Chain A
């Protein structure tokens, strides 16, 4: 798939999913929390408006899935922004200051890379009551390392570029050099990596939810729905298939989008 086409297709797919997830629940007569033990694990049907069927407590799966998408996307986007802020600041600082500071800062990143982070996150989730905010922070904390490395490498090479020397020579202020000459040249690569960080964040969030360490009932996320679905996959496969395929679709779209953006960005820079 060529860069531009894949960006258009995956971009509009993601937008559609997000809009349906936002608007969909209003159109449904059900809400995400009301149980109905007389109608558990019902198959999807149009007649009673259970588009995706019901779960083992008789809650409407369509509304719950939409809620799950919202939560998953929200967690992923906020976590990616957290990693963006930490990663870009850290990386740009290391790259711009350079020298020993850079070496020390990157040493720390290398060290953190060696940590089995997910184990720390599990620990965090268990130790501090599971709260929503903590999920964002934890996931963001895992993913900022890549961003920091990439931004640092890019900044380091930009700082050595001759147009920065030319600006220094003319008397352009350091502030202006950073914002006018270095930052704009970082935007492309940062956008690409944020896009690729989102699916990773989604994976971590679903992983935690799957282990029962993520969002708490009756709130839900795609990962939590998959977890619930696994228990009934033999008798009521749709309970697994619907959230699992939506999760996979979302991840695929973000990965394709990121790849497409990267191709576009690379092409710009080699031409």
Chain B
């Protein structure tokens, strides 16, 4: 297990490097700099600015400079917010996104796994069909349709919940954004859990377990749950990416000053260091979380460790 974990960690390093390089290249290949649309600057000032941001150096050197900065936790200065570092901008915005994302993920896992398992055990019943109908609808309706619909109904018409974030304190402001963000993931995880649970329940060792006189609850808890969770675990990577994507919309709709919102603003402002910083930050986060998922996978499936 230790060997497996170490191998996984070592394997993540080149992935991370590649991701950073790709992001760096893409950002630098984009035409148009952050200062293009400002008034035309005298050549020497232009050169000064270029030199200040090291834009006059050859690309490989810029990349190495960026990497060494990364190692020190320095993501560079923002092009737009003068005097602000990208790191501090991210540090300010990320907690909001983290709260939203973590709550949405927790909600999605609890409800999705619960509903999926229940549906698998009641295969073909009305309950199963209702759950799966909801789930199919859930994966088919985009976040930006769900969000305004919920706002229209729960905030505007019924006035149960606040429609936005600003000026509101307390937990009530989380309800709508978290629900919106979680709904598609609940649907997806429920479908995945049901399919995988049904697959596991049809395996021979489950028949053996029943033949040993174990009740359904014990069979599911002791024998079926672990293997049925493997596909769900594999889906965690894409789920995290999906929640990050969703947060871009949700943060806009509910006016939450999170990282998704910063990203869109940064992109529109051509604040490339900020944009690059966020991409690198999110990519590292995803690589790191995928690493955790991999290690967890090895802990659940003893056969994987030996490969």
- A residues at B contact (CB < 8 Å): 107, 110-111, 113-120, 122-124, 126-128, 199, 203, 206-207, 210-211, 223, 226-227, 229-230, 233-234, 237, 240, 244, 247-248, 251-252, 255-256, 259
Contacts and interface: CB of A to CB of B under 8 A. Distances in A.
A119 B26 CA distance: 11
Contact of B144 (A115, A118, A119, A206): A206
B19 A115 contact: yes
A207 B26 contact: no
Interface stretch (B78-86, B167-175, B210-218, B283-291): B283-291
A244 B145 contact: yes
A119 B136 CA distance: 26
Given A128-B31, A207-B142, A227-B144, A116 B241 contact: yes
Contacts of B252: 211
Contacts of B287: 114
B98 interface: no
B263 A255 contact: no
Contact of B18 (A111, A120, A128): A111
Nearest to A240: B148
B15 A123 contact: no
Contact of A127 (B15, B32, B248): B32
A10 to B, nearest CB: 11
A266 B141 CA distance: 27
B264 interface: yes
Contacts, number: 113
B295 to A, nearest CB: 15
A244 B149 contact: yes
Given A207-B245, A247-B145, A248-B141, A122 B264 contact: yes
B137 A252 contact: yes
A203 B188 CA distance: 15
A127 B19 contact: no
Nearest to B241: A116
B152 A247 contact: no
Contact of A230 (B27, B148, B248): B148
Given A123-B27, A210-B249, A255-B136, A114 B283 contact: yes
A6 to B, nearest CB: 10
Central interface residue in A117, A206, A251, by most chain B CB within 10 Å = A251
16 contacts: A107-B15, A111-B15, A114-B287, A115-B23, A116-B286, A120-B279, A123-B26, A126-B268, A207-B245, A211-B264, A229-B148, A248-B145, A251-B139, A251-B142, A252-B136, A252-B140
A123 B267 contact: yes
A120 B244 contact: no
Given A110-B15, A120-B23, A244-B149, 19 more contacts: A107-B15, A111-B15, A113-B237, A114-B15, A115-B23, A115-B286, A122-B267, A123-B30, A123-B267, A126-B267, A199-B140, A203-B142, A211-B248, A211-B249, A226-B144, A230-B148, A230-B253, A252-B137, A252-B140
B194 interface: no
B80 to A, nearest CB: 14
Given A252-B137, A256-B136, A119 B282 contact: yes
Interface in B161-219: none
Interface in B249-307: 249, 252-253, 263-264, 267-268, 270, 275, 278-279, 282-283, 286-287, 290
Contacts of A240: 148
A115 B16 CA distance: 10
Contact of A115 (B27, B142, B283): B283
A114 B27 contact: no
Nearest to B242: A118
A232 B56 CA distance: 48
Nearest to A251: B140
Nearest to B31: A127
B22 interface: yes
A233 B26 CA distance: 38
B208 to A, nearest CB: 22
Contacts of A120: 23, 26, 279
Contacts of A124: 26, 30
Nearest to A248: B141
Given A111-B18, A114-B237, A127-B30, A233 B264 contact: no
A255 B241 contact: no
B59 interface: no
B19 A111 contact: yes
Closest 8 CB pairs of A and B: A127-B30, A251-B140, A252-B140, A116-B282, A126-B267, A118-B245, A230-B148, A244-B145
A92 B238 CA distance: 23
A237 B152 contact: yes
Contacts of B142: 203, 206-207, 210, 223, 226, 247, 251
Contacts of A206: 142, 144
Contacts of A244: 145, 149
B102 interface: no
Contacts of B49: none
B55 interface: no
Nearest to B284: A114
Nearest to A250: B140
B210 to A, nearest CB: 22
Contacts of A110: 15
